[in-house]
């Protein structure tokens, strides 16, 4: 393949950019707020396998956009760093004995080299790594703020325990009942944990989604995850008991249809209400439920199970006695851990009632519910409708009934409006070594005591073995000289907290540290936070929709509440890049052997080809398959640019049609780059090159602006050709070209002539011809005459510069 000397060109300009600190940015106060842009990539976890082709996709997009903005006069902050705490490095340490710091830092070096080889315009002076004590000092500082705000608490809770990783996992790290990292089946285990009260922020996390410019799918996933439900808590009396039974329902309008109650097996009243003759069955059931994994409990396909407790509750609306059951389809962690069951109007209750032959009473007329011989409906209707069998409420529609019944319950002191969220508090402990130590002490006298801020960072001790103890404690627990310490309050004996933070901690606030990465007095100078925040564009994978992006928003809001950041949301605009699949549209994976290594691409085709190809594949947001042929096509385009540049440059007036294509190209590339439609911008540059290639000469008046357009996309090649044109570097410091609408205009347009909506002729005419003239031309057209002959013309629609449509009817 004929090819231009990309290797030499690329290394030359990368060196030049680095030596001249071309992309370093400051907080110049003379730059007005609207001319400052913060363009952020999701920073990578430096894995041992190096960069894959998915990384450069998002990184190239933000790089092109950053370079484009700079050329248009913006002050652009575009940083990068590494999310360097986490399990893989620790698992590697367990296997090989290599200290995670060592393998992590080796991996970071590899990533840094790979990222630099693609010519991204990062401000490397701001690089950070989350495992660095200068960084995690502030992660710990934020944790202490959370603790002091009452947002961190200890609790012994059943957590998802991965027997292979020997650690607890957050709900979000469990997929299909299996550990997201190792695939091992997860089961429940009670362990003392540090929890963060993200639930306190549920409402604001939900509401503020309105304020941000994010993909609707991500917003919807977050809403779904937060899972707000509005309904009522209703109190039921228990027969022969002092205790009341409170349930949460979103359908208080179906109270008259409640035919039984169900408690979660873990509900605190179960033991009390169970009658002696039922006690044995109840206890057996509780034991069985406890032994089940979460996966077994939530397996939808399985039959409903449960037992009757022997006790009865009283329905407050009609004083009917209804039996109390227990079943594991009721979750202790949601609502009150108990429900009123309305089998006629809830699918789950319906199944349960059918299994155990419990009564079913229809109370909502959905328009089609019929009754069987027992007088019970023959299917479950969960929608809205008109109330029936509900005493004086009969005839009310569902929403009205809900309002009325809640008012009535509140008057009677039997219930009140209630809101529930699916969102749970965040289990913030990991029983691992390679994470930020939680900066707390357990003092024999004072209880839990925070490490004084002046003693931060609380650094990780050196250990011999990274193997988890498996008891639920981290490897830190066996380092006596680290664990045993003095209480800073009373001076007595104290033990350090041995749990570490989960991997999400460091990534919750890294975008703040970029603003002031070497500050050792605060997490960042408030003036710098004020200068740059919020992030104007954040690009990364959709896999972080409810993990990183929800946690980061939560921390940001806490920091906002204590006055540490000036905005209520961190990321104003979010774009998810699509996945890059292997050739043929299958997933890229090691086992399929179809993984593309960016190093190979850079070596064989060059960084510019890699960049332009990844942007040319299709829209940024969608998944698309890799194609080496497609890559070669893009490389061919850059090679043509190179060969064109070798022609003799002339300063004469270029032909009109080329000037026109150039101005059309400037317009299209400007508009498309602005909306991240890089694929169509590149297509337009190809059109320009195809046209220019037909000329003998190289017109420098066209070439200069074209190179500016090319610069964000293929910065090395553009830089080289810019210099060869006799200009001083750097092209990236030049102004973005302007187009002239007049020069971009087509003077001749093809007019389509239709008869009854079908194209019958096409004519080339001068642009801007008026309607009458167009219509006349169309009607007189020879071919059209044939089509309309002997027919009567009903209507003629004329769209200037586009078409003439003649509607005729047969006569």
Site for RNA in 525-584 (CB under 7 A): 542, 545-546
- For position 250 contacting RNA by CB under 7 A, the verdict is yes
The pairs formed by 598-603 with CB atoms below 8 angstroms and a separation of 24 or more are 598/50, 598/51, 598/52, 598/53, 598/55, 598/56, 598/114, 598/117, 598/118, 599/50, 599/51, 599/114, 599/117, 601/53, 601/631, 602/10, 602/117, 602/118, 603/7
Q: Closer CB to RNA, residue 216 or residue 277?
A: 216
* Window of 457-465, 635-643, 725-733, 771-779 that interacts with RNA by CB under 7 A: 635-643
**Rounded distance between C-alpha atoms, residue 780 and residue 771, angstroms:** 14
Task: Please give the DSSP secondary-structure letter assigned to residue 267.
Answer: -
- For position 809 contacting RNA by CB under 7 A, the verdict is no
Vertex 8: Cα angle to 5 and 13 (nearest 5): 120
Residue from 749, 763, 769, 779 binding RNA (CB under 7 A): 749
Please report the DSSP string for 24-54 in residue order. Answer: -----TTS-GGGEEEEEEPPPP--TT---TH
- Strands 803-810 and 152-162, how do they pair? unpaired
Least CB distance to RNA at residue 2 (A): 3
Residue from 210, 694, 696, 748 binding RNA (CB under 7 A): 694
- For position 248 contacting RNA by CB under 7 A, the verdict is yes
- For position 600 contacting RNA by CB under 7 A, the verdict is no
Q: How many of the chain's residues bind RNA (CB under 7 A)?
A: 88
* Window of 130-138, 190-198, 562-570, 616-624 that interacts with RNA by CB under 7 A: 616-624
* Window of 32-40, 366-374, 492-500, 746-754 that interacts with RNA by CB under 7 A: 746-754
- For position 371 contacting RNA by CB under 7 A, the verdict is no
- For position 785 contacting RNA by CB under 7 A, the verdict is no
Within residues 38-97, the interface with RNA by CB under 7 A covers: none
Least CB distance to RNA at residue 152 (A): 22
Residue from 448, 449, 478, 687 binding RNA (CB under 7 A): 687
Residue 520, SS3 per DSSP: coil
Which residues are bridge partners to 430 per DSSP?
A: 500
Q: Closer CB to RNA, residue 444 or residue 747?
A: 747
Within residues 198-237, the interface with RNA by CB under 7 A covers: 216-217, 220-221, 224-225, 227, 229, 231
Distances (CA, A) of 227 to 263, 334, 676, 786, 807: 21, 11, 32, 66, 55
* Window of 314-322, 323-331, 451-459, 556-564 that interacts with RNA by CB under 7 A: 323-331
Within residues 299-318, the interface with RNA by CB under 7 A covers: 299-300, 302, 304
Q: Closer CB to RNA, residue 489 or residue 677?
A: 677
Which residues are bridge partners to 160 per DSSP?
A: 169, 188
* Window of 167-175, 189-197, 307-315, 390-398 that interacts with RNA by CB under 7 A: 167-175
- For position 756 contacting RNA by CB under 7 A, the verdict is yes
Residue from 142, 414, 427, 617 binding RNA (CB under 7 A): 617
* Number of neighbours of residue 624 by Cβ within 10 angstroms: 18
Helix pair 607-616, 678-693: axis angle to 10 deg: 120
Scan for tokens 């990368």, then name that residue.
14
Residue from 96, 125, 164, 175 binding RNA (CB under 7 A): 175
**Rounded distance between C-alpha atoms, residue 381 and residue 116, angstroms:** 60
**Rounded distance between C-alpha atoms, residue 48 and residue 84, angstroms:** 11
> Which segments of 208-306 does DSSP mark as H helices, in order?
216-226, 270-273, 276-291, 294-298
Q: Closer CB to RNA, residue 131 or residue 544?
A: 544
* Cβ pair 39, 60 in contact under 8 A: no
- For position 647 contacting RNA by CB under 7 A, the verdict is no
- For position 762 contacting RNA by CB under 7 A, the verdict is yes
- For position 679 contacting RNA by CB under 7 A, the verdict is yes
* Window of 106-114, 184-192, 324-332, 712-720 that interacts with RNA by CB under 7 A: 324-332
Least CB distance to RNA at residue 468 (A): 26
Residue 84, SS3 per DSSP: coil
Please report the DSSP string for 564-606 in residue order. Answer: SSS-S-SBSBEEEPPPEEPTTSPPP-TTTT-PPPHHHHHHHT-
- For position 439 contacting RNA by CB under 7 A, the verdict is no
- For position 15 contacting RNA by CB under 7 A, the verdict is no
Residue from 335, 377, 435, 715 binding RNA (CB under 7 A): 335
* Window of 186-194, 243-251, 510-518, 695-703 that interacts with RNA by CB under 7 A: 243-251
Least CB distance to RNA at residue 617 (A): 5
Within residues 403-422, the interface with RNA by CB under 7 A covers: 420, 422
Q: Closer CB to RNA, residue 163 or residue 619?
A: 619
Q: Closer CB to RNA, residue 364 or residue 460?
A: 364
Q: Closer CB to RNA, residue 22 or residue 382?
A: 382
* Window of 134-142, 365-373, 447-455, 629-637 that interacts with RNA by CB under 7 A: 629-637
Q: Closer CB to RNA, residue 224 or residue 412?
A: 224
Dihedral sign for Cα atoms in the order 745, 714, 81, 172: positive
Please report the DSSP string for 470-497 in residue order. Answer: SSS--GGGG-HHHHEEE-TTT--EEEE-
Residue from 633, 659, 695, 775 binding RNA (CB under 7 A): 633
Q: Closer CB to RNA, residue 602 or residue 723?
A: 602
Residues 531/534/540/541 CA torsion (nearest 10 deg): 160
Residue from 128, 339, 369, 505 binding RNA (CB under 7 A): 339
**Rounded distance between C-alpha atoms, residue 115 and residue 51, angstroms:** 8
Q: Closer CB to RNA, residue 499 or residue 673?
A: 673
Which residues are bridge partners to 699 per DSSP?
A: 650
- For position 757 contacting RNA by CB under 7 A, the verdict is yes
* Cβ pair 206, 470 in contact under 8 A: no
Residue from 31, 632, 658, 769 binding RNA (CB under 7 A): 632
Least CB distance to RNA at residue 275 (A): 23
**What is the layout of strands, in order, in the sheet containing 484-486?**
447-450, 440-443, 493-496, 484-486
* Cβ pair 483, 477 in contact under 8 A: yes
Q: What are phi and psi of 532, to 5 degrees?
A: -105, -30
Q: Closer CB to RNA, residue 240 or residue 629?
A: 629
Residue from 359, 566, 625, 729 binding RNA (CB under 7 A): 625
Going by C-beta distance under 8 Å and a sequence separation of 6 or more, which residues neighbour residue 290? Answer: 265, 266
* Cβ pair 56, 41 in contact under 8 A: no
Least CB distance to RNA at residue 589 (A): 13
- For position 160 contacting RNA by CB under 7 A, the verdict is no
Residue from 412, 690, 785, 792 binding RNA (CB under 7 A): 690
- For position 811 contacting RNA by CB under 7 A, the verdict is no
- The reply to whether omega before 730 is within 30° of 0 (cis) is yes
Residue from 328, 536, 614, 720 binding RNA (CB under 7 A): 328
Residue from 135, 551, 637, 706 binding RNA (CB under 7 A): 637
- For position 636 contacting RNA by CB under 7 A, the verdict is yes
x-marked contacts with RNA along 340-369 as a string, rule CB under 7 A: ------x-x--x------------------
* Cβ pair 141, 559 in contact under 8 A: no
* Cβ pair 78, 66 in contact under 8 A: yes
Q: Closer CB to RNA, residue 562 or residue 797?
A: 797
- For position 126 contacting RNA by CB under 7 A, the verdict is no
Give the distance from CA 249 to its chain's centroid. 31
Going by C-beta distance under 8 Å and a sequence separation of 6 or more, which residues neighbour residue 301? Answer: none
């Amino acid at each position: 393949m004929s090819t231009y000397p990309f290797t030499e060109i690329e290394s030359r300009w990368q060196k030049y950019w680095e030596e001249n600190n071309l992309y370093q940015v400051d907080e110049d106060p003379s730059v007005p707020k609207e001319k400052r842009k913060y363009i952020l990539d999701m920073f990578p976890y430096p894995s041992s396998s190096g960069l894959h082709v998915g990384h450069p996709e998002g990184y190239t997009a933000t790089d092109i956009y950053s370079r484009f903005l700079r050329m248009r006069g913006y002050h652009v902050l575009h940083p990068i760093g590494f999310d360097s705490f986490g399990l893989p490095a620790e698992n590697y340490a367990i296997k090989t004995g290599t200290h995670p710091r060592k393998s992590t830092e080796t991996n970071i070096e590899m990533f840094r080299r790979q990222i630099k080889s693609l010519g991204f315009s990062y401000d490397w002076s701001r690089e950070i790594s989350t495992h660095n004590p200068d960084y995690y000092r502030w992660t710990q500082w934020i944790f202490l703020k959370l603790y002091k705000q009452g947002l961190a608490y200890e609790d012994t809770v059943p957590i998802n325990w991965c027997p292979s990783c020997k650690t607890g996992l957050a709900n979000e790290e469990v997929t299909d009942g299996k550990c997201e990292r190792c695939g091992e089946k997860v089961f429940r285990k009670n362990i003392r944990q540090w929890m963060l009260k993200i639930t306190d922020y549920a409402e604001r996390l939900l509401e503020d989604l309105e304020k941000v410019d994010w993909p609707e799918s991500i917003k919807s996933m977050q809403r779904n995850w937060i899972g707000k439900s509005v309904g009522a808590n209703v109190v039921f009396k228990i027969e022969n008991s002092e205790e009341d039974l409170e349930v949460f329902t979103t359908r208080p309008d179906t109270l008259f249809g409640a035919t039984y109650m169900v408690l979660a097996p873990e509900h605190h009243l179960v033991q009390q209400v169970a009658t002696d003759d039922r006690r044995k069955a109840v206890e057996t059931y509780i034991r069985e439920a406890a032994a089940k994994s979460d996966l077994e409990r939530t397996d939808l396909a399985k039959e409903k199970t449960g037992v009757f407790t022997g006790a009865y509750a009283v329905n407050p609306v009609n004083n009917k006695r209804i039996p109390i059951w227990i079943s594991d389809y009721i979750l202790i962690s949601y609502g009150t851990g108990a429900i009123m069951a309305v089998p006629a109007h809830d699918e789950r209750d319906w199944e349960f009632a059918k299994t155990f032959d419990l009564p079913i009473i229809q109370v909502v007329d959905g328009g089609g519910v019929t009754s069987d011989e027992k007088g019970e409906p023959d299917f479950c209707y969960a929608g809205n409708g008109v109330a029936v069998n509900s005493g004086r409420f009969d005839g009310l529609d569902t929403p009205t009934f809900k309002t009325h019944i809640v008012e009535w319950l509140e008057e009677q002191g039997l219930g009140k409006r209630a809101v529930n969220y699916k969102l749970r508090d965040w289990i913030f402990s990991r029983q691992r070594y390679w994470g930020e130590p939680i900066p707390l002490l357990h003092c024999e006298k004072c209880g839990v005591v925070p490490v004084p801020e002046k003693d931060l960072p609380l650094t990780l001790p050196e250990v011999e073995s990274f193997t988890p103890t498996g008891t639920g404690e981290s490897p830190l627990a066996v380092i006596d000289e680290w664990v045993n310490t003095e209480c800073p309050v009373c001076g007595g004996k104290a033990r350090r907290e041995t749990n570490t933070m989960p991997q999400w901690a460091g990534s919750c606030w890294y975008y703040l540290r970029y603003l002031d990465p070497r500050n050792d007095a605060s997490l960042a100078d408030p003036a710098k936070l004020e200068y740059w925040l919020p992030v104007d564009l954040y690009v990364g994978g959709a896999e972080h929709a409810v993990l990183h992006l929800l946690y980061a928003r939560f921390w940001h809001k806490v920091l906002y509440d204590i006055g540490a950041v000036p905005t209520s949301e961190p990321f104003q605009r979010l774009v998810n890049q699509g996945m890059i699949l292997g050739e043929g549209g299958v997933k890229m994976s090691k086992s399929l052997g179809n993984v593309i290594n960016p190093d190979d691409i850079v070596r064989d085709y060059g960084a510019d080809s890699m960049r332009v190809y990844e942007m040319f594949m299709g829209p940024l947001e969608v998944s698309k398959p890799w194609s080496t042929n497609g890559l070669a096509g893009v490389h061919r385009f850059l090679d043509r640019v190179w060969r064109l540049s070798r022609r003799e440059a002339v300063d004469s007036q270029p032909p009109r049609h080329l000037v026109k294509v150039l101005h059309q190209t400037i317009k299209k590339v400007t508009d498309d780059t602005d909306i991240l439609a890089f694929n169509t911008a590149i297509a337009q540059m190809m059109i320009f090159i195809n046209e220019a290639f037909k000329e003998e000469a190289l017109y420098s008046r066209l070439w200069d602006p074209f190179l500016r357009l090319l610069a964000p996309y293929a910065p090395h090649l553009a830089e080289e050709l810019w210099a060869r044109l006799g200009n001083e570097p750097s092209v990236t410091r030049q102004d973005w070209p302007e187009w002239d609408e007049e020069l971009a205009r087509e003077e001749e347009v093809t007019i389509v002539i239709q008869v009854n909506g079908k194209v019958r002729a096409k004519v080339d005419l001068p642009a801007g011809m008026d309607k009458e003239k167009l219509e006349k031309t169309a009607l007189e057209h020879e071919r059209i005459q044939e089509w309309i002959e002997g027919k009567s013309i009903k209507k003629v629609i004329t769209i200037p510069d586009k078409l003439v449509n003649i509607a005729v009817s047969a006569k």
